[in-house]
Structure 1
């Protein structure tokens, strides 16, 4: 599917065919595309949980206030991020660059992130958002539908998936063949209301 067609047709689908599936090849193609998403300093601090256990799905559905797509969709992916990835073996993020580049980037990375908890969180959430859009557009390009979800009890979900210390949950995404199309777009603001040049 053409990129702009995928953008136009991508919708937050709430109703999935419970008998539908996503082939393993398609799933891997989507996730490998996600891994090409940009991150600050190339730290790739996203962590993805693919929930395949039906019992865990039911627990997550309860934490998501009973939303049907959690158990009906072929796939459920939880987008998380390691806020401390900047300090965990950072040399690997530039392993394929010259030593001179690494000598510059490693101190820059530490100076940028060290002691800045809010920045660490902000960057993690930004990266989850970018990865999510890559996932949803890649899925749509292959003919699948998705729904980004923030409607859940964060603490309950963290407990269910055993979220490690220093990590956060960005969102969940359901993925699979839709049972029915999304409702028409509720109302798009015009570009001239949203786009300014140089200043507000």
Structure 2
């Protein structure tokens, strides 16, 4: 599918065929595309929790997810998390294929840039999650699937269910599958003249 077509046709779909299965090959293709996303210093903070267990998905839906049907009915449910301390975990591996002088420069910058700046570590982790999520959803659309990003769940309770490490950030979930119900018409985009600022506010 053409990239612009995927962008314009991607919608947040709520109704999925619960019997449709995404093959392991398709899942790998989606995830391989997702990790092509950019991230600050190429740190790749994202960690994808594939929620496969039907009982776990049902529990999240009923107890902590506002009974959103896509949590159980979609073929694939991915919870996006990010390691906020990835910047100091063997950082040289993020630049292993770069020229040595480039790798040395960027790995050397990384520590001072993030050290003692917890707000920045969290912000960068969430930015990486957001970029990767959009890549996943566009890849899904290009493969003939629909998707729905979701933040309407109890973050604290779901964090406990998945044993989220203390130094990880929780992001949204993304449901992916075959739609059985058309989404609403697009509710409306704010015109560009209200969104674009030239140089200064």
Pick the TM interval, shorter chain.
over 0.9
User: Is contact 1:46–1:82 with CA below 8 Å preserved after alignment?
Assistant: yes
1:4 corresponds in structure 2 to 4
TM-score (norm 2): 0.97
1:44 corresponds in structure 2 to 44
Deviations 1:73-121 (A, max 9, x none): 1110000000000011111111112332222112200111000000000
- Cα offset, 1:196, TM superposition: 1.9
What secondary structure sits across from 2:22 in the alignment? coil
Pair 1:131 & 2:150 matched: no
- Cα offset, 1:53, TM superposition: 0.7
Q: Which runs of 5+ in 2 are unaligned?
A: none
- Cα offset, 1:179, TM superposition: 1.1
Pair 1:178 & 2:176 matched: no
2:26 corresponds in structure 1 to 26
Deviations 1:125-177 (A, max 9, x none): 00000000000000000110000000010011101111112001111000000
User: Is contact 1:73–1:176 with CA below 8 Å preserved after alignment?
Assistant: yes
Pair 1:54 & 2:54 matched: yes
What RMSD over aligned residues (CA atoms) do the two structures have, in Å? Answer: 1.0
Distance (Å, rounded) in 2 between the aligned partners of 1:41 and 1:60: 34
2:197 corresponds in structure 1 to 196
Q: Which runs of 5+ in 1 are unaligned?
A: none
2:13 corresponds in structure 1 to 13
Distance (Å, rounded) in 2 between the aligned partners of 1:30 and 1:94: 23
What secondary structure sits across from 2:169 in the alignment? strand
- Cα offset, 1:20, TM superposition: 1.6
Distance (Å, rounded) in 2 between the aligned partners of 1:143 and 1:73: 14
What secondary structure sits across from 1:159 in the alignment? helix
TM-score (norm 1): 0.97
Write out aligned runs for 1:92-107 (5 A).
Answer: 92-107=93-108
